Amino acid sequence: MGDQFLVVGGDAAGMSAASKAKRDAPETDVIVFERSNWVSFGACGLPYYVKGEIAKLEDLVVMEPRRFVEERGIDLRRNHEVTAVDPDAREVTVETDDGHYRESYDELLLATGGQARLPDVPGVDLDGIFPIRSLEAGRALRNYVAHHEERPARGIGSTSARELRSHLDEADPEVVAVVGANKIGIELAEAFLARDLEVHLFDSGPRVLRSFGADIAEMVEDHLAEGGVELHLDSPVERFRGSDGTITMVETADDRVAVDAVAVDVGVDPEVELAEDASIELGPTGAVATDEYGRTSAPDVFAAGDCAEKRELLTGDPILWPFALAANRAGRAVGRTVAGQPAAVGGVVRTLVMKAFDLQVARSGIVDHDEARAAGFDPVSALITSITRAHYYPGWSRMVVHATADAESGRFLGANMVAEEGTAHRINSVATAVTAGMTVDEVGALDFGYAPPFGPVWDPVLGVSKVLEAKLE
């Protein structure tokens, strides 16, 4: 035996694959190359780190590097950057501080991740504009918005972060813009408000949280406004202006807002340079194309995580889906496959949950009618207002649920929901039903739990199914 399995990238997909391959086939040599010093970290926690609820950046690390080595037997090489893949020779080129070398593989996984997109407008290179993706960017942002006295002593890692810091020690920002009213953008808005900053939230579209469905956005918008966020919707940023190389102003067609810093959340681009250079096929999404096992067009080369496309289960289409669980799951499946037990990476139904201040917002499947029609469905929707606890149980509040079904087949296609409590896990019942291909009648007949502190007798998911059922008759 003694296959050599190389992994490029040491975050969710890469470390999951490495761990699973080594566990299932201990005789395999598993080497992980990570160009930074960090592996296996929870980037999703960055907004809470910026907010100050999480004390140290190190707290976000899921598993310490040495444990991968000592407990799992993985050859983990940090500060090692893979700069080229040669599928014909079955080798990669690795750059280190001490020069470069080549390493051969039997199987290779590209888990190079994604990069925060930046708006394509003048001034985007100014200091004080933060795309939040890497831990170092999160550290720089926190340092920036924290008061002077809270800032940690110097000694941070990367050069770029040190540069970002250079002018920040003098700054004591008061006004911050967030560009992109998406998940991380709204989480950051909350973090900034908690730090007593004035927050302006810009989005090019008419509604916040586009990916969660515009139909429930109104409740979120009211809530954000009440919380103190200044909303600028239908307001694409046209230019950032600065002074001495540092951001001072955000400009839209109608408005100019003086700011001390900008956080950006307008999307993630898959990091595909290595694959492209090796003539590995990309899909229509721009991410690395893969089959159901995560295999690329090159023999024994896999891709998983944010650099690889995912399969949407309702449409069968490849999509970009740069989220943690999908990356972990795909990585784990590749590890299993490499170990000799072929495992599909699985598709997604685009389930998302988030905390928007005191609201829980969630989505799964297809709710939007244009999307549904594009996928060949004949959409019918229902929007209900339900309650989060029994009507007599203290503390109930309202829950809005919007669900869509296919009129022809009766299939339940998806739902969005928002409330102060009870949507974050409830959405998983929708994800399960959608994945199983259940009809509205089948969803309406599900045997859910009921207790007065947790919902009405007819769970809102069942409730919305009853309304859909009546519409489909």
Q: Which of residues 265-324 bind its own copies (CB under 8 A)?
A: 313, 323-324
Identity of the residue, 22 or 426, whose beta carbon is nearer to its own copies in the bound complex? 426
Task: Tell me: does residue 344 bind its own copies (CB under 8 A).
Answer: yes
In this structure, are residues 423 and 399 in contact, taking their beta carbons and an 8 Å threshold?
yes
Q: How many residues bind its own copies (CB under 8 A)?
A: 73
Q: What is the Cα–Cα distance from 134 to 321, expressed in whole angstroms?
A: 17
What string of DSSP letters covers 137-171? Answer: HHHHHHHHHS-GGGPPPS--S-HHHHHHHHTGGG-
Listed ranges 64-72, 138-146, 228-236, 341-349: which one lies at the site for its own copies (CB under 8 A): 341-349
Site residues (CB under 8 A) for its own copies, limited to 45-104: 45, 48, 53-54, 59-60, 62
Helix (H) or strand (E) holding 144: helix 135-145
Q: What is the Cα–Cα distance from 458 to 449, expressed in whole angstroms?
A: 9
Minimum Å gap between C-beta 241 and its own copies is: 34
Q: Is 279 strand, coil or helix?
A: coil
Listed ranges 83-91, 218-226, 299-307, 451-459: which one lies at the site for its own copies (CB under 8 A): 451-459
Listed ranges 102-110, 241-249, 271-279, 445-453: which one lies at the site for its own copies (CB under 8 A): 445-453
Task: Tell me: does residue 338 bind its own copies (CB under 8 A).
Answer: no
The two tokens of residue 31 are 């080497």
Task: Tell me: does residue 351 bind its own copies (CB under 8 A).
Answer: yes
Which segments of 283-358 are extended strands (E)? Answer: 301-303, 310-311, 318-319, 352-356
In this structure, are residues 57 and 137 in contact, taking their beta carbons and an 8 Å threshold?
no
Beta bridge partners of 364: 415
Identity of the residue, 261 or 461, whose beta carbon is nearer to its own copies in the bound complex? 461
Minimum Å gap between C-beta 78 and its own copies is: 21
Question: Is 307 labeled as catalytic in the residue annotation?
Answer: no
* Cα 82 versus chain centre, distance: 24
Listed ranges 82-90, 134-142, 237-245, 439-447: which one lies at the site for its own copies (CB under 8 A): 439-447
Identity of the residue, 6 or 405, whose beta carbon is nearer to its own copies in the bound complex? 405
Minimum Å gap between C-beta 359 and its own copies is: 11
Exactly one of 3, 24, 42, 44 is catalytic; which is it?
A: 44
Task: Tell me: does residue 135 bind its own copies (CB under 8 A).
Answer: no
Q: What angle do CA 443, 444, 449 make, to 5 degrees?
A: 90
Site residues (CB under 8 A) for its own copies, limited to 363-422: 364, 390-394, 422
Task: Tell me: does residue 446 bind its own copies (CB under 8 A).
Answer: yes
Beta bridge partners of 460: none
* Cα 441 versus chain centre, distance: 32
- Please list the alpha-helical segments (H only) found in 278-409: 324-338, 369-374
Task: Tell me: does residue 436 bind its own copies (CB under 8 A).
Answer: yes
Which residue numbers are catalytic?
Answer: 44
